[in-house]
Amino acid sequence: MNKKPIAIIAPNFDRHAALERIAGLDRKALARVEGAVYYPYFRFAATCRVPGLFSKRDLGAHCLVDGRRGIGATTVAFETIEEAVGDGEVLGALLSAEAARNAAQRFMTHAISRRTRTIARFGVELSHCGVVYKRFWLVRGGQHRFVVDSVTGQLHDIRLAAA
């Protein structure tokens, strides 16, 4: 299989830790790591003018946009590492960079407006820092399959269409 290097968000949960995450929930069921999938996110550095007391403040933030669904989120600063992964394990981005930028803009404006409860121009400036991937471990637990987020250790079942 061809392996090419991609930037992934520095993980905290390795294969063994992911397995333990699932196994720990039901000791009687068989748990097994089946592989990994790499999920794309567009990464932006944002500066925003937020109305403050008597003046405006420039706040910096990081924003990630889900590369397949366009959902935005703010995030703490994180490290990335390079890793060589097989083509088949990478989920490609479905959004264009421009669509992602729009999504980020929209999300940041919305988030600030909601928090400050203000209608104003927040002057959200975005700089695009490329696409990063997050590793999700595919883990089987009993009859079900789960993804385990390699950064946070959180899990979610993946419901497959009934055969």
Partner 1 sequence: MFGLPPETALLVFGFPVFWILYTIGFLYVSRRWRRESGDDSS
Partner 2 sequence: MSVTVIAFLLLYYVAVLGIGYWAMRRGAGEDLEGYLLGGRKIGPMTTALTLQSTSMSGYMFLGAGGLGFAQGYWALWYAAGDIGGGVLNLSVIGRRMRKLSQMMGALTAIEYLEKRYPSPLVRLFGGTLTVFLLGFYALAQFIAGGKGMALVTGIPYPLALAIAVAVILVYTFMGGYLAVAYTDFFQSLVMLFGVLWIVVAALSELGGLTAANNAIGALDPTLLGVWGRDMGFEGQWGVVAGALLIFSVGYMGWPHVVTRHMAMTEPATARSAGVYATVWNLFFVPAPYLVGILAILILPVIEDPEMAIFQVAARLLPGAVTGLVMAAIMAAIMSTADSLLLQTGSIASRDLYERFINPEASEKQMVWVSRGLVCAIAAVGYLVALFEPPSVFGVVIFATSVLGSAFLPAYVCAVWWPKANTPGALTSMIAGASVSFIWELADLTATTEIAPMLAGVLASTVTMIVVSLATQRIAPVPEHIRVALGVAGSAGPIPAGYLAATDFALGPEAAEIAQAVNGNEQRHE
> Could you list the residues that contact partner 1 (CB under 8 A)?
71-74, 107, 111, 114, 154
Measured distance CA(104)–CA(123) in Å, rounded: 13
Site for partner 2 in 104-133 (CB under 8 A): 105-122, 124
Measured distance CA(47)–CA(61) in Å, rounded: 6
In angstroms and rounded to an integer, the radius of gyration of the C-alpha atoms of the chain is 19
For partner 2, what does the binding mask look like between residues 54 and 73, x meaning CB under 8 A? x----xxx----x-xxxx--
Residue 142, phi then psi, degrees to nearest 5: 65, -130
Q: Which does 15 bind (CB under 5 to 8 A by kind): partner 2, partner 1, none?
A: none
Told to check if 10 binds partner 2 by CB under 8 A, we report no
* Helix (H) and strand (E) counts in the chain: 2, 8
Told to check if 88 binds partner 2 by CB under 8 A, we report yes
Told to check if 157 binds partner 2 by CB under 8 A, we report yes
Question: In this structure, what token pair is assigned to residue 5?
Answer: 């290097």
| Closest CB 73 distance from partner 1, rounded Å | 4
Q: How many CB atoms lie within 10 A of CB 101?
A: 17
Question: In this structure, what token pair is assigned to residue 151?
Answer: 């950064």
Q: Which does 105 bind (CB under 5 to 8 A by kind): partner 2, partner 1, none?
A: partner 2
Told to check if 12 binds partner 2 by CB under 8 A, we report no
**148 in helix, strand or coil?**
strand
List contacts with partner 2 (CB under 8 A): 22, 25-26, 29, 37, 39, 48, 50-54, 59-61, 66, 68-71, 74-76, 88, 91, 105-122, 124, 136, 138, 141-147, 149, 152, 154-162
